[in-house]
Amino acid sequence: MSTNTARPCPGTKGARSNHKKLGDEPADHTIGRSRGGSTTKTHLVADGKGRALAFILTGGQVADTTMLPDTLDEIRVAGATGRPRQRPGRLLADKGYPSRANRA
């Protein structure tokens, strides 16, 4: 008696792509092509209490590393007096943002 290790259902694994390119996407639509189809990324900066300070939307194919400086430039925290604060004292980021420029 032999053991059958074949997949129970013949066919391809996973769903087919639903991406249909009908022309150039306008720059302000932030929809990009990724492995999963048409996607969007949200790059968010939050304070220590989880409150959003700034965010940027990009297409799914845009690298996280390149968006860190642009996202930090969007921070504007108004104080009691003076100019709004723009740069945090410390920064924690996930592993999608490593680069020498970002670490500096």
**In a domain? residue 59:** yes
pLDDT tens readout for residues 68-97:
888 888 888 877 787 777 777 788 888 878
Give residue 15's Cα distance to chain centre: 23
**In a domain? residue 8:** no
* Confidence class for position 99, pLDDT limits 50, 70, 90: confident
Question: Which residues span the domain enclosing 58?
Answer: 28-82
**In a domain? residue 21:** no
**In a domain? residue 73:** yes
Length of the chain: 104
**In a domain? residue 17:** no
Number of compact structural domains in the chain: 1
Instruction: Please tell me the predicted confidence (pLDDT) of residue 92.
Output: 83
Q: Is 43 helix (H, G, I), strand (E, B) or coil?
A: strand
Q: Is 28 helix (H, G, I), strand (E, B) or coil?
A: helix
DSSP the chain: -PPP-S-SS-S-SSPPP-----SPPPGGG--EEETTEEEEEEEEEE-TTS-EEEEEEEETTS-HHHHHHHHHHT--B--SSSSPB-S-S-----TTS--HHHH-
Q: Whole-prediction pTM value?
A: 0.60
**In a domain? residue 55:** yes
**In a domain? residue 5:** no
